[in-house]
Amino acid sequence: MRTRWLDRAVREADRARKEVVDLTRAIVALDTTNTGAPDSGNESLVAEFLADYLRREGVPVTLVGRTPERNNLVASLPGSRRGCGLLLLSHSDVVPAGDPSTWKTPPFTPTIEHGRLYGRGAADMKGTAAAEVVALLVAHRLRVPLRKEVRLVCFADEETGGAFGSGWMRQAHPELLKADVALNEGGGRRHRVGRGLHYGVAWNEKGRHEAVITFSGAGGHAATPWRGDNAIAYAAEFVDRVRKHQPDPVFDRTLLAGFRWVP
């Protein structure tokens, strides 16, 4: 049963590629530049556009925001059991476009050249927002039987801290962010392995690991530098090696052993 629904969903998703591109172009054209000022962003332009897009096909939508101009979009498909199984996350604000003269085409006039879509926010992350909206619509159109709710949240104010987006929602509407699994941007890159393509998914969220590293050396006189052992040189070499290090992706199916998730 699950294989049949998955095959249908994949075929429908393939047919919806143009819809994803067209929807991306439509919302890239909406200037939602977030400078960090409270009155910037105007993310309601995108939230209201996507809300209308989803409502036309009967998908329930809610707009919530700290201010009317900076709304967050919430849309969902119900499941047969309680709780949200999958949370699709994106954001509608973009960083400033900078000097217009550095752009080959206007930043808010989406343009396709050589199979790529150019425009401020196309990659970060209105393209993903459009893909998630269409994914939700594909499941809705096919009436895919879901065990748990699938919810889409498109935040405002991701680029400058989330005071009008995820941070505010966490305080004002925490129930809308609870889910078994959340899918967000930045998980990994595309890699070719053999004759196939693998798409990376990073588990958990970004974090940090603090360490104290000591470099030892020996003092010396400027007239006899060969007798010294400069610890600063070792530290500089270490920092440079860390900067250049690019870890190889790991493709190990055994890492998924025992993991089973069905929406």
For residue 169, cis peptide bond before it (omega within 30 degrees of 0): no
Q: Give dist(CA 236, CA 239) in Å, integer.
A: 5
Q: Where are the beta strands (DSSP E) in the chain?
A: 61-65, 71-77, 84-91, 111-113, 116-118, 149-155, 181-183, 190-193, 196-199
The single-letter DSSP state of residue 16 is: T
Q: Choose the catalytic residue: 43, 132, 149, 158.
A: 158
Residue 227: which residues within 8 A CB-CB, separation 6 or more?
Answer: 218, 220, 221
Q: Choose the catalytic residue: 43, 93, 132, 157.
A: 93
Q: Which helix (H) or strand (E) holds 131?
A: helix 127-142
Known active-site residue 93? yes
User: Is 235 exposed, middle or buried (CB count within 10 Å of its CB: 0-12, 13-18, 19+)?
Assistant: middle
Q: Which residues are catalytic?
A: 93, 158
